Amino acid sequence: MSSREKHIVVTLACFSLLLGYYLVNWIRMYQTVGLDQTTIFRLWGTVIVAGILVTILGTILTYIGSNVAYAIRTGKGDGEPMVEDERDKLIELKGEYASYIVFSLGVFVAMLSFVFGQPALMMFSLIVFFSLLSQVVGDISQLVRYRRGV
Amino acid sequence: MEKRQVRNNIRRLRFFQNEMTQEELAEKTGVTRQTINAIESAKYSPSLELAFKIALVFGVPLEEVFTYTIADKSAENKK
């Protein structure tokens, strides 16, 4: 498994957890107090900040972890070379394409909810949900292409 | 039109180059070992530039490394 694949696995795991956390908290909030503005803004803030931190920390930790593993495996102290070649770029592009499709679908569904008389908070909640889902789908798509071929 | 696919002789050519490893070939062509592995197992068709680089490393013409043959249906089914 290349360092890029490891990075994708870490991001996927983190964003899946984040998606789960968002869903559980949103459903709990919806069942107890409904769409409360203060609570929902706090939840969005938490999820967005956690998403940014997870991306940065995930990148750093994967880099350190894969370098340590490489040094132990090979005995070389210079670390694993971080080469990104044409295949990596193609897979990344296709992953982003899958992400955009899911996100576009999400925006459409969110707009539909608005059309059917749901409050604006519901629309924005759906957009946040689909943005997290699109990240997860993009990562899965990349992993599948790494395994099965482009 | 019949379905065709890019096939390659990289494994054989590596053998004749003193059993060159995928890692060495990857270093010489500026890609990762995983990419060489994917090309060798026909999971990825390289760009024209990378194909020329690989041929250059082996010192053979491009058509000796890559061929565009009719797809093997039994192999397709196995996938």
Global confidence as pTM: 0.83
Token pair, residue A50, equals 């956690």
State residue A77's pLDDT score: 65
> Is the CB of A2 less than 8 angstroms away from the CB of B32?
yes
> Is the CB of A146 less than 8 angstroms away from the CB of B35?
no
> Is the CB of B34 less than 8 angstroms away from the CB of A2?
yes
Give CA–CA dist A9/A24, Å, rounded. 22
pLDDT tens digits for range A20-67: 999 999 999 888 888 888 888 999 999 999 989 988 888 888 888 888
CB atoms inside a 10 Å sphere around CB A8:
24
Partner A contacted by B52 (CB < 8 A):
no
Helix ranges restricted to H, chain A: 3-32, 37-74, 86-115, 120-148
Asked if the model's pLDDT at residue A149 lies above 60, the reply is: yes
Give the structural domain span for A52: 3-148
Asked if the model's pLDDT at residue B61 lies above 80, the reply is: yes
Partner A contacted by B46 (CB < 8 A):
yes
Asked if the model's pLDDT at residue B77 lies above 60, the reply is: no
Cα A128 from chain centroid (whole Å): 11
Q: What total number of domains does chain A contain?
A: 1
Cβ proximity of A120 and A111 under 8 Å: no
Residues 1-40 of B with CB under 8 A from A: 30-35, 38
- For chain A, give the mean pLDDT: 89
